Amino acid sequence: MFTIDLPTWFLSVLLAPFGLILGSFGNVLIHRLPQEEKADRNVVTKPSHCPSCKTPIRWFHNVPLLSWLWLRGKCAACGWRIPVRYPLVECLTGALLAGSVWILPFGTLIWIKGVLCGYALIVLFFTDLTEFMLPDAIQFPLMALGVLFTLPQLIAGQHLTRITTTGWNFLEVFTFANGVQQAPAWSLTGPVVEWQGSLLGLTVGYGVPALLNQAYKWIRKTDGLGMGDFKMLAWLGAFWGWAPMVGILFGGALLGSAVGLPLMLLRKASGQTMLPFGCALALATPVVVFYGPALLSAYLGLMQ
């Protein structure tokens, strides 16, 4: 049996540059996916270019983080000030990959799931913040992936679950098959996300907010939440199950009100002003996934 026996700090250092590169691609996704023209949404074959002057970026000006520092945050051709978002997304993704191995066992399915979810949240946070948009091109595949991630557990079942004590190795891709490992188990739904919970999360993620939104639209005669928010809840539900998904919705709403209400009081925003709710959902997700059960029991304790 092949086992990974590298010190965590070593894995962390090894993964950081990959995170920076992934973050660099994240910037491409954030810039291109919300574009109106289909040709502008091409994130695969179109080479990197300056968003301002369209000059192709040479490879040595396209090194994550270092080039931004070297060029002092300006385009080499036209001097356009490159938004701080670019190095920020690279650093965040670098930290995501470097930090992931401290929280989740490297190489397991739950690790892949956690990293993928974190990466998607970084990208969606910034598309929503800058363009008020949560691209379908990201969210629909994530819905499918969330459900697919439950399949190894389904296929392997009891047989592989018995070998969980052998240490961190690739076989645990199956044994650690799914669920919130290394994080407090969701006692409501069990320690793993099974296909039923995943599908339920997907359905409820769309269904419940769609109904609320319908009611809101009827009462306030506005569009309410954007459809992108439902899709985001749907894939988060498919990833983490229905209960964490409801927690994320609750946490996001709480955060949204915490930012929105003071803004409204300051008359900088009316009830009609659009706030990027996807950003609130993205911020709430890690808190709920890792600390949700603890927060819930603390809350229930307060109620008694």
The single residue among 35, 43, 80, 199 that binds Zn ion, judged by CB under 5 A, is 80
CB atoms within 10 A of CB 78: 11
Is residue 84 within the footprint of Zn ion (CB under 5 A)? no
- Give 272: exposed, middle or buried? Use CB within 10 Å, 0-12, 13-18, 19+: exposed
Is residue 50 within the footprint of Zn ion (CB under 5 A)? yes
* Rounded least distance, CB 83 to Zn ion, Å: 13
Which of 80, 195 has the CB closer to Zn ion? Answer: 80
Is residue 75 within the footprint of Zn ion (CB under 5 A)? yes
Is residue 74 within the footprint of Zn ion (CB under 5 A)? no
Is residue 77 within the footprint of Zn ion (CB under 5 A)? yes
Which of 60, 140 has the CB closer to Zn ion? Answer: 60
Residues 191 and 216: their CA atoms lie apart, in Å, by 35
Is residue 78 within the footprint of Zn ion (CB under 5 A)? yes
Interaction mask 154-193, Zn ion, x per CB under 5 A: ----------------------------------------
* Rounded least distance, CB 50 to Zn ion, Å: 3
The single residue among 53, 144, 211, 274 that binds Zn ion, judged by CB under 5 A, is 53
Angle at which helices 242-265 and 227-240 cross, to 10°: 140
Residues 263 and 265: their CA atoms lie apart, in Å, by 5
Give the Cα-Cα-Cα angle 281, 226, 256 (nearest 5 degrees): 40
- Give 96: exposed, middle or buried? Use CB within 10 Å, 0-12, 13-18, 19+: buried
- Give 249: exposed, middle or buried? Use CB within 10 Å, 0-12, 13-18, 19+: buried
Is residue 57 within the footprint of Zn ion (CB under 5 A)? no
Is residue 274 within the footprint of Zn ion (CB under 5 A)? no
* Residue where the block lists tokens 């996807």: 278
Region from 67-75, 151-159, 214-222, 286-294 binding Zn ion, contact rule CB under 5 A: 67-75
* Rounded least distance, CB 53 to Zn ion, Å: 3
Closest CA to 93 of 46, 69, 126: 126
* Rounded least distance, CB 67 to Zn ion, Å: 13
Residues 292 and 142: their CA atoms lie apart, in Å, by 22
* Rounded least distance, CB 75 to Zn ion, Å: 3
Residues lying near Zn ion in the complex (CB under 5 A) are found at 50, 52-53, 75, 77-78, 80
